[in-house]
Amino acid sequence: MTVLERYEPLIDDVEAFREACERPLPSAVRVNTIKTTVERGKVALDDAGIAYEETDWLPGLLRLPVDQPGANWPYVHGWLHGQEEVSALPATVLDPQPGERVWDACAAPGSKTSQLAALMDDRGLLVATDNNMGRVSALRSNAERLGVTNLALTVEDARNHSLKPFDSEPYDRALVDVPCSCEGTIRKNADVLDEWNYEQVQGTAGVQKGILRRAIQATREGGTVVYSTCTFAPEENEAVLDYVLEAEDCRVVPFEIGLEAAPGVTEWDDDHLDEPMAFDESVTHAKRIYPHLNDTGGFCCAKLEVTG
């Protein structure tokens, strides 16, 4: 059985799924509203003779059928930022407001971080954490080009994140876009399937559980935590959600998006498992986005409310 074959029981149209996974991923850019407006960003592309298509679910997120994201002057000046279409989903679901305290727990290289800052009108406190200094350097470079000023960076394991440098006050919202087995990125990185192994899935899931727990602990009662991955594996998606529902005071809540999606799954069985897995019914509120549904990468996203 190949890696993708293990997920075919979860998919409504297996043939369309296979075909989509073999096609190149369309390029996309997000207009950076810290430096310009959506309309000015589109005019700049028009003036530069660069073709684009507007997405129908998120204003300012544009597909570039021909041009590469960074090969134009609006990008160099920080008006645009290359960001895979489905990658813009988690920050949109989190919906941070100007003046709030927000934590991006796995931030580098900064696409979602800068999107959060733009949604906050570059006001309030945005804390971005990563444990890889090289990736943090890329995050700093992107933040500077895009004009982000409400940002504080921490280099640490997110599972041990401390609130002390930030007055020990909890966050209003937290984004947990965790490292994962990355099966959903196959359209831009086919090698990911050659490197896949189940032991990696198990080990990664353990890290994901720790990061999501810390995010819930660091967020105030009534606050919002968004959990996302670019993998199809229930071990890294619904199983992680099911774990934190038992371990922390939180609940998975429904949300609506303009992308076609499948619900989270409540049961999962596979040759790698000693016995079938079953999850809390509320994980069906999570959204599974397969490549064939919207011509994007693969993704999973869930919204949680902190209840204690």
Distance CA 21, CA 295 (A): 9
CA distance linking residue 129 with residue 157, whole number of Å:
8
Active site includes 230?
A: yes
- Taking only Cα atoms into account, the Rg of the chain, rounded to an integer number of angstroms, comes to 19
| Phi, psi at 238, each rounded to 5° | -65, -35
Q: Give the CB-side neighbour count of residue 191, counting CA atoms within 13 A.
A: 0
What are the start-end ranges of the E strands in 134-218? 151-155, 171-177
DSSP class of 6: G
The single residue of 21, 230, 250, 300 carrying the catalytic annotation is 230
Percent of the chain that is helix, strand, coil (3-state, to 5): 40, 20, 40
Degrees, nearest 5: CA angle 116-117-119? 65
Cis peptide before 98 (omega within 30 of 0): no
Active centre residues (catalytic): 230
